[in-house]
Chain A
Amino acid sequence: MIRGRLLWPLIALAGLILLNVVFTHSFLALRIQDGHLYGSLVDILRNGAPTMLIAVGMTLVIATRGIDLSVGAVAAIAGAIGCTWIADGGDVPTAVLLALAVCVLLGLWNGFLVSVLGIQPIIATLVLMTAGRGGAMLLTEGQIVTVDSSAYRQIGAGFLVLPIAILISLAVLGGVALLTRRTALGMLIEAVGANPEASKLAGVRSRTITWTVYVFAAFCAGVAGLMISSNVSAADANNAGLWIEMDAILAVVIGGTSLAGGRYSLGGTLVGALVIQTLTTTVYTIGVPTNVTLLFKAVVVITVCLLQSPRTARIIGGRRRTPATAPRSQKVAAG
């Protein structure tokens, strides 16, 4: 099953973990600390959870040949709403519901711009990317809002043996996989991405599908934003979720989903998100000097992307691979 494009990201992931083990022998060690698992691998899962969740939403958006740049700003808004509500004396469930409701509204706005008004996704979501962070700043009045609520902490820093954050992300991932791969929904999403006009003529409600994926992406971003702010019990409108849209897009691309739309791989996105988080943890663990950190990350990412490209694979493997235009059947198998 694990063939083609998913092979290299998996090798990269294994390679990074191996590199860590060489530098820190206890890297794979796990122990129970205060009733939960403790270790570097657990950190990777917990810190990678927000990126993974946003990447799942992004995967579906990209599958419809769209892109959502506003997820970082939406995450910041969710955190800002959650924390200001609790800081003003509100209760946690209302804070969470309120934050997610606003995020769904923002997703409706994005989807409206793209599917009804027909604005290019990159431009339509750019509006919210810039304006959204400003809105979050307004909510927090430019300050970092700190909250002291053990219930709120659970979302991002809590444990049920495993970190709650990763359980949420995996549950969403699993849910989406079931919903889109066990029903025709996945195929309809891919049809919209492959050719919106043709699918419309074939009777697919492409407008509704496009609209829905943007709402879902914003919802994922909202939950991720709550995780991010809950992880440190504070909402930092300036920095929360900053550049996370880029990480999410990268995770999707590393996972083998084409930006041209029309096909997607959720399993690939999972691996992609893990590669990105492991890379960050590796930098800290093996002590890459700060002034070459970005270079180190760039080299790893470029290598993975190069190895994934069909042409390089052909040169290395010496075998002719499926043409780039029709790898559908293979992707479905991998996803």
Chain B
Amino acid sequence: MFKKIAMIGCALALATLTACGSGDGGGSKGSGGDKLVMGFAQVGAESGWRTANTKSVRESAKSAGIELKFSDAQQKQENQIKAIRSYIQQKVDVIAFSPVVETGWDAVLLEAKRAKIPVILTDRAVDSSDTSLYKTFLGSDFVEEGRKAGKWLTENTDGPAKVAEIQGTTGAAPAIDRQKGFKEAIAGKSDIRIVASQSGDFTRAGGKQVMEALLKSHPDINVVYAHNDDMGLGAIEAIKAAGKKPGTDIKIITVDAVKAGMQALADGEINYIVECNPLLGDQLMDLAKKVVKGEKVPERVVTEETAFTSEQAAKVLKDRKY
């Protein structure tokens, strides 16, 4: 009983606060004219990629004229559930969130469904048999990223390619999918062969250590495919220490396109970077407007992503936000 009272109290306090803050009286659905209200429950601020993601959502909401209620869950599922409940209480028009983990969302999503508030997933998926609980999932296609990397190699290799693959954290979805896509793309090309594949845990130090060892056990390696920029940057250090020239003696392909990686690409030390885009704010706002109007949206929307060569990187480098 006390718990319930406390909860209502909290909800009231929250509602009061937001009402004062928003300034357009009531702050809930309908009363503020036709300004759309979105509740966004972010994972946290664990990496540079994530910070860029948050910034993009905030900026896009502002320019799209959508009122954004933002919460940071500090990588905890219970915080995210609390935030979503408070958005339901506040009767926002649409809820968007990047689920911290895949499971355990059915109850709170059902509450949102009953309150007739559409939900959009961003960046990470939810593992639930009931797909009616959310409208759409907006995020990167990791397999496609791997395919792009492999495709570039098939088109830009002269002579036999001996590839060292530096994988991400063993078992992580991006690592599994980026490997799968790459293998698909190079299948059937007999002159391209992955001669070694080890995990560098998505870190620079890991990439360097793996590459140091691989250069000794497979001195004939002439291509490196790293599952993210940081491991690629580590590999560059190892290649330099071995007296070889990164980008020339050994071609390097990476995924992500964070600023440090783009710098190396522009400098010619990396040859090709497939983008994994955290700037999905604009696409999210478009989808939000559509689902609120009741328009039909696809169940899966892939983030707009591109890939960069050295020349392209030099052009976009100074506008790179993350």
**Is the CB of A88 closer than 8 A to any CB of chain B?**
no
The answer to whether A34 touches B234 (Cβ under 8 A) is no
The answer to whether B217 touches A284 (Cβ under 8 A) is yes
Interface centre among B51, B203, B210 (most CB of A within 10 A): B203
The answer to whether B205 touches A285 (Cβ under 8 A) is no
How far in angstroms is the closest Cβ of chain B from A229? 9
Given A236-B203, A238-B47, A290-B199, check contact A40 B208 (CB 8 Å). Answer: no
The answer to whether B213 touches A281 (Cβ under 8 A) is yes
The answer to whether A285 touches B213 (Cβ under 8 A) is yes
Which residues from 20 to 37 on chain A have a C-beta closer than 8 Å to any C-beta of chain B? 23-24, 26-27, 33-34
The answer to whether A286 touches B204 (Cβ under 8 A) is no
B204's contact among A43, A141, A232, A283, by CB below 8 Å, is which? Answer: A232
How far in angstroms is the closest Cβ of chain B from A280? 7
User: Which residues of chain B are near A285, meaning CB under 8 Å?
Assistant: 213-214, 216-217
User: Which residues of chain B are near A335, meaning CB under 8 Å?
Assistant: none
**Is the CB of B167 closer than 8 A to any CB of chain A?**
yes
The answer to whether B205 touches A236 (Cβ under 8 A) is yes
**Is the CB of A47 closer than 8 A to any CB of chain B?**
yes
How far in angstroms is the closest Cβ of chain A from B18? 27
Of all chain A residues, which has the CB nearest B165? Answer: A290
**Is the CB of B107 closer than 8 A to any CB of chain A?**
no
The answer to whether A142 touches B46 (Cβ under 8 A) is yes
User: Which residues of chain B are near A146, meaning CB under 8 Å?
Assistant: 260
User: Which residues of chain A are near B51, meaning CB under 8 Å?
Assistant: 141-143
The answer to whether A287 touches B209 (Cβ under 8 A) is no
In the bound complex, what is the Cα–Cα distance between A238 and B48 (angstroms)? 11
How far in angstroms is the closest Cβ of chain B from A17? 13
**Is the CB of B269 closer than 8 A to any CB of chain A?**
no
Of all chain B residues, which has the CB nearest A46? Answer: B212
**Is the CB of B123 closer than 8 A to any CB of chain A?**
no
The answer to whether A232 touches B237 (Cβ under 8 A) is yes
In the bound complex, what is the Cα–Cα distance between A280 and B205 (angstroms)? 13
In the bound complex, what is the Cα–Cα distance between A188 and B171 (angstroms)? 48
**Is the CB of B197 closer than 8 A to any CB of chain A?**
yes
In the bound complex, what is the Cα–Cα distance between A228 and B213 (angstroms)? 17
A24's contact among B201, B217, B243, B260, by CB below 8 Å, is which? Answer: B217
State the majority secondary structure of interface residues on B.
Answer: helix
The answer to whether B243 touches A236 (Cβ under 8 A) is no
The answer to whether A290 touches B167 (Cβ under 8 A) is yes
The answer to whether B199 touches A293 (Cβ under 8 A) is yes
Interface flags for A281-318 (1: CB within 8 Å of B; 0: not) read: 10111110111010000000000000000000000000
**Is the CB of B196 closer than 8 A to any CB of chain A?**
yes
A234's contact among B197, B201, B204, B214, by CB below 8 Å, is which? Answer: B204
The answer to whether A283 touches B230 (Cβ under 8 A) is no
User: Which residues of chain A are near B201, meaning CB under 8 Å?
Assistant: 239
User: Which residues of chain B are near A109, meaning CB under 8 Å?
Assistant: none
The answer to whether A157 touches B198 (Cβ under 8 A) is no
Interface flags for A152-187 (1: CB within 8 Å of B; 0: not) read: 000001000000000000000000000000000000
User: Which residues of chain A are near B291, meaning CB under 8 Å?
Assistant: none
How far in angstroms is the closest Cβ of chain B from A166? 14
The answer to whether B234 touches A232 (Cβ under 8 A) is yes
The answer to whether A290 touches B260 (Cβ under 8 A) is no
B205's contact among A40, A43, A228, by CB below 8 Å, is which? Answer: A228
User: Which residues of chain A are near B206, meaning CB under 8 Å?
Assistant: 239
Given A38-B242, A290-B199, check contact A232 B233 (CB 8 Å). Answer: yes
User: Which residues of chain A are near B212, meaning CB under 8 Å?
Assistant: 43, 47
B214's contact among A231, A240, A284, by CB below 8 Å, is which? Answer: A284
Of all chain A residues, which has the CB nearest B52? Answer: A143
The answer to whether A23 touches B230 (Cβ under 8 A) is no
The answer to whether B208 touches A287 (Cβ under 8 A) is no
The answer to whether A287 touches B170 (Cβ under 8 A) is no
The answer to whether A40 touches B216 (Cβ under 8 A) is yes
The answer to whether B237 touches A286 (Cβ under 8 A) is no
A232's contact among B205, B214, B217, by CB below 8 Å, is which? Answer: B205
B243's contact among A23, A34, A232, by CB below 8 Å, is which? Answer: A34
Which residues from 19 to 78 on chain B have a C-beta closer than 8 Å to any C-beta of chain A? 45-48, 50-51
How far in angstroms is the closest Cβ of chain A from B101? 18
In the bound complex, what is the Cα–Cα distance between A27 and B218 (angstroms)? 11
**Is the CB of A135 closer than 8 A to any CB of chain B?**
no
**Is the CB of B5 closer than 8 A to any CB of chain A?**
no
User: Which residues of chain B are near A102, meaning CB under 8 Å?
Assistant: none
The answer to whether B216 touches A24 (Cβ under 8 A) is yes
Of all chain A residues, which has the CB nearest B168? Answer: A290
Interface flags for A224-253 (1: CB within 8 Å of B; 0: not) read: 000010011110101110000000000000
Interface centre among A47, A143, A157 (most CB of B within 10 A): A143
**Is the CB of A4 closer than 8 A to any CB of chain B?**
no
The answer to whether A283 touches B209 (Cβ under 8 A) is no
**Is the CB of B241 closer than 8 A to any CB of chain A?**
yes
The answer to whether A284 touches B209 (Cβ under 8 A) is yes
How far in angstroms is the closest Cβ of chain A from B188? 23
In the bound complex, what is the Cα–Cα distance between A285 and B217 (angstroms)? 5
Given A144-B204, A232-B204, check contact A39 B243 (CB 8 Å). Answer: no
Of all chain B residues, which has the CB nearest A36? Answer: B241
In the bound complex, what is the Cα–Cα distance between A161 and B209 (angstroms)? 20
Of all chain A residues, which has the CB nearest B219? Answer: A26
B237's contact among A38, A43, A143, A157, by CB below 8 Å, is which? Answer: A157
18 more A-B residue pairs beyond the given contacts A40-B213, A231-B208, with a C-beta to C-beta distance below 8 A: A23-B217, A34-B243, A47-B209, A143-B48, A144-B204, A231-B205, A232-B204, A234-B260, A238-B47, A239-B205, A239-B206, A281-B209, A284-B209, A285-B216, A287-B196, A287-B197, A289-B197, A291-B170
- The contact sample of 16 A-B pairs, CB cut-off 8 A, is A33-B241, A34-B243, A38-B241, A43-B212, A43-B216, A142-B46, A144-B48, A144-B204, A146-B260, A232-B237, A239-B201, A284-B213, A284-B214, A285-B216, A287-B217, A289-B197
A-B pairs, top 7 by smallest CB distance, nearest first, are A284-B213, A232-B204, A143-B48, A239-B203, A290-B199, A285-B217, A24-B217
